Amino acid sequence: MSTASLIARRLLEAGAVKLQPSEPFTWASGLRSPIYCDNRVLLSYPTVRTEVVAGLVELAGQFPGIEGIAGVATAGIPHGALLADRLGLPFVYIRSKAKEHGQQNQIEGRIEPGQRYLVVEDLISTGGSALQAIAALRAAGGEAIGALAIFSYEFPAAVRAFEQADVPLATLSNYSSLLAEAAREGQIAKAEAEALTEWASDPRAWSDAFSAARQA
């Protein structure tokens, strides 16, 4: 079994991912979505946590010359810290914005100018939070040589955003692997798989169509 399929299975087993095409979730953006992913759940399962860290260590091998790990607050912090510990590297974490009190830090930890960091996020949807953290890291004098995440929705816009930022992205698993595993395990029917595939091609259109159907 590939790493992508294994992690997808673990996400489903732990309940970190929930698939509800007929009763979709509402994201913070207001979009209706048939999937909800919370990778923080994995921290409660030591065996799965170990598998995730091992996978991140393997992915990190794609990026030679790493000098530090930067976790994206908040969900990227624990996984990033575990990876940094395994690799014996310095760790920092980056907030979405600077604190309004104390030293008003946006980055917690010490960054040396020119230090080469691998940025760790738990989930990539649009990629906005990770890219915002990368911008803060660069502004502080650090260099982002790559980004890692546990799971990606594989939205084309996110792929383009990382390419434009000149930051290679690697993830342990992804949406297509998750759907394949869910179908293999009998967790979704054919009609549900079709709805989930349709959503991924255009989340906004799918959300609007679902809302319109409910109001009809």
Give the span between the Cα atoms of 46 and 42, in whole angstroms.
Answer: 8
Strand partners, 144: 117
Contacts of 128 (CB under 8 A, 6+ apart): 161
What are the DSSP calls for 162-199, one per residue? HHHTT--EEEEEEHHHHHHHHHHTTSS-HHHHHHHHHH
Annotated binding site for orotate: 125
Give the span between the Cα atoms of 122 and 78, in whole angstroms.
Answer: 9
Q: Are 83 and 117 in contact (CB under 8 A)?
A: no
Burial of 165 (0-12, 13-18, 19+ CB in 10 A): middle
Annotated binding site for 5-phospho-alpha-D-ribose 1-diphosphate: 95, 99, 101, 121-129
Annotated binding site: 95, 99, 101, 121-129
